[in-house]
Amino acid sequence: MKTVPPRIAIPLPHSLDPEYGERAIPQYERAVELAGGEPVRIPLDQPSAEVAKLIARCDAVLLPGSKADIDPAKFRAPRSPHTAAASPCSASATGCKV
């Protein structure tokens, strides 16, 4: 019997450095494939409801690194001077129930 590989959602970083995503995402995808999974790119420039639907079709979520921060105000915390500005798309993705 053939097993179905787990579908692994990978949100695409894009807010501040598009070249970062072009370099990093293929490496994450390759790691998922080497581990026996099927990588699924999740574009964060979609409405939160669409992002949630895409993620719901996956078995797990891999959160790649990014230069952008999630707005710490969402968690009642101050922003660190060592982080980049919050990404509106990343912040909206955190509203998804995973």
Could you read off the pLDDT of 4-63 as tens digits, one per residue?
999 999 998 765 677 877 888 999 999 999 999 999 999 988 899 999 999 999 999 998
Positive or negative, the CA dihedral 73, 75, 77, 78 is negative
When comparing pLDDT for 45 and 94, which is higher?
Answer: 45
What is the mean pLDDT of the segment spanning 76-88? 75
What are 38's two structure tokens?
């099927």
Return the higher-pLDDT residue of 29 and 83: 29
Structural contact between residues 37 and 62, judged by C-beta atoms closer than 8 angstroms: no
Would the pLDDT of 93 be above 70?
no
Distance CA 71, CA 85 (A): 8
Note the CATH number of domain 7-93: 3.40.50.880
Query: Following CA atoms 90, 43, 14, 86 in sequence, which dihedral angle do they give, to the nearest 10 degrees?
Result: -10
Would the pTM of this model clear 0.85, i.e. be above it?
no
Q: Which residue has the tokens 């409405």?
A: 47
